[in-house]
Amino acid sequence: MKNKFIVIEGLEGAGKTTAHTVVVSVLQEYNINNIVLTREPGGTPLAERLRILIKQSVDGEKICDKAELLMIYAARIQLIENVIKPALARGAWVIGDRHDFSSQAYQAGGRGLDMQLINTLRHIILGDFSPDLTLYLDITPEISLHRIYQRGQLDRIEQESLNFFQRVREHYLKVSAVDSKVIIIDATQNLKTVKLSLQKVLYNWLENLNL
Ligand code: T5A
């Protein structure tokens, strides 16, 4: 299959929305117009309901870390089975705003859940399904918090401490360093420079695919 699943990852406010636009426009330059955009958690009616529960909780009830993890995986498998796999099967390219790498970073790194638990869950639920390319937009937690504070009201996860986001970032960087399918983009630069970096990486990657 020539069509691919590309994922954009990073802390809150890293610029994933902008990156989506850049990926779409680069693909279009290659005459790739059959593109499906997804986001996680979310992307199906059930997964979108779970997204609200994950981001906001219910009546202030504390969500324990393992319940959060399971809701995220429930949303993810709904999205994979009902949207991503069918899209790939009919030849579409899929661009995901977050995927499993987020669970490794937030639930293992941030929450401190056992990586073995997450690996087991991933293996059982997702099998060997994984993105062809992940673009990790790296920013510091300080920049992330600055950008999300400017946006206004914070959701349940955005209210976590600076230390939490430091652990998330450290985990992103640790895994990125050993996974050849993850490319790190310095997203602390201005938007124009980040855009150019993304384009460069994508042109290079697409050329190597020999489409
Ligand atoms: N989660 C998710 C988990 O814990 N585990 C999981 O497995 C998964 C899948 C999802 C939440 O769920 C958690 C992580 C999250 O907390 P979300 O809303 O989908 O929540 O994700 P967010 O990361 O919160 O989305 P954001 O909209 O905050 O981030 P973006 O899309 O990266 O940010 P963007 O592009 O909207 O930019 C934010 C602002 O910053 C500016 C933009 O203009 C915008 O105003 N900006 C820049 N400014 C200057 N220079 C740059 N280079 C800039 N880039 C962006």
Q: What is the DSSP code (8-state) at residue 42?
A: -
Which amino acid is present at 48? E
Q: Give residue 183's pLDDT.
A: 98
Any atom of ligand 1 within 6 Å of the Cβ of 106: yes
Q: What's the gap in Å between 157 CA and the centre of ligand 1?
A: 12
**Which domains does the chain show, CATH number per domain?**
5-208 (3.40.50.300)
Any atom of ligand 1 within 6 Å of the Cβ of 190: yes
Which atom of ligand 1 lies at the shortest distance from residue 188's CA? 52
Residue 182: beta bridge partners? 134
Q: Give residue 1's pLDDT.
A: 66
Greatest Cα-to-Cα distance within the chain, rounded to the nearest angstrom: 52
Query: How would you label 120-142 residue by residue, b for 16+ Cβ within 10 Å and e otherwise?
Result: ebbeeeeeebebbbbbbbbbebe
Any atom of ligand 1 within 6 Å of the Cβ of 121: no
Q: How distant, in Å, are the alpha carbons of 91, 126, 181, 199 from that of 69? A: 31, 14, 24, 33
Q: Give residue 60's pLDDT.
A: 86
Q: At what angle do helices 141-151 and 162-178 cross, to 10 degrees?
A: 130
Q: What's the gap in Å between 211 CA and the centre of ligand 1?
A: 31
Instruction: Please give the chain's pLDDT, 211 residues, in tens.
Output: 699 999 999 999 999 999 999 999 999 999 999 999 999 999 999 999 999 999 998 898 999 999 999 999 999 999 999 999 999 999 999 999 999 999 999 999 999 999 999 999 999 999 999 999 999 999 999 999 999 999 888 999 999 999 999 999 999 999 999 999 999 999 999 999 999 999 999 999 999 998 8
Q: How far apart are CA 131 and CA 95, in angstroms?
A: 9
